[in-house]
């Protein structure tokens, strides 16, 4: 029979099932604590990354939409609405991410700014020099949540 660590390295799914069974049975001494701790911490990092990804996608489509207002794509509007809902869902599931959302927003903003050409920014000059949180707070459905984040920061 494999040890916990060997099972973790050999068959992750089986390892997870085994850890869950031992947790349910309250057999805490049988747990592979080192790997279990690592996986729990990894889940937290994934949640933070998911929030950052949603913010970056939202900002990218907002800039595209603001930069091309006459030819705004209906698909962009759908993506913007979807991202807003996904971000709201993240906050509903993990309210403790809200205070770090402003930091994630700033990181995402830097990425988005680098991805667009200077010509794009000429059409959205005000946006380019505005705080991303303030800009979002005045343009998206969950502006009250962003405002509360900005005030709390």
Determine the Cα–Cα distance for residues 112 and 44; give it in Å rounded to an integer. Answer: 24
Please state at what angle helix 33-67 crosses helix 98-115, rounded to 10 degrees: 50
Going from N- to C-terminal start, the domains of the chain cover 50-152
Question: What's this model's pTM, rounded to 2 decimal places?
Answer: 0.67
Determine the Cα–Cα distance for residues 109 and 120; give it in Å rounded to an integer. Answer: 15
Using one digit for the tens of pLDDT, what is the confidence trace for 16-51?
Answer: 999 999 999 999 999 999 999 999 999 999 999 998
For the chain, give the percent of residues with pLDDT over 90.
Answer: 27
First-to-final CA distance of the chain = 52
Using one digit for the tens of pLDDT, what is the confidence trace for 78-105?
Answer: 788 888 888 888 888 888 888 888 778 8
Determine the Cα–Cα distance for residues 28 and 22; give it in Å rounded to an integer. Answer: 7
């Amino acid at each position: 029979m494999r040890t916990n660590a060997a099972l973790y390295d050999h068959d992750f799914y089986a390892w997870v099932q085994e850890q869950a069974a031992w947790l349910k049975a309250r057999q805490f001494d049988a747990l592979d604590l080192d790997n279990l701790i690592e996986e729990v911490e990894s889940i937290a990092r994934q949640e933070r990354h998911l929030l950052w990804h949603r913010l970056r996608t939202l900002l990218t489509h907002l800039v595209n939409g603001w930069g091309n207002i006459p030819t705004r794509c209906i698909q962009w509007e759908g993506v913007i609405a979807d991202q807003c809902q996904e971000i709201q869902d993240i906050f509903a599931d993990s309210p403790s991410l809200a205070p770090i959302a402003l930091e994630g927003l700033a990181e995402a903003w830097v990425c988005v700014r680098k991805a667009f050409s200077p010509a794009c920014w000429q059409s959205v000059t005000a946006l380019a020099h505005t705080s991303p949180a303030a800009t979002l707070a005045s343009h998206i459905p969950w502006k009250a949540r962003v405002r509360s984040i900005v005030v709390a920061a």
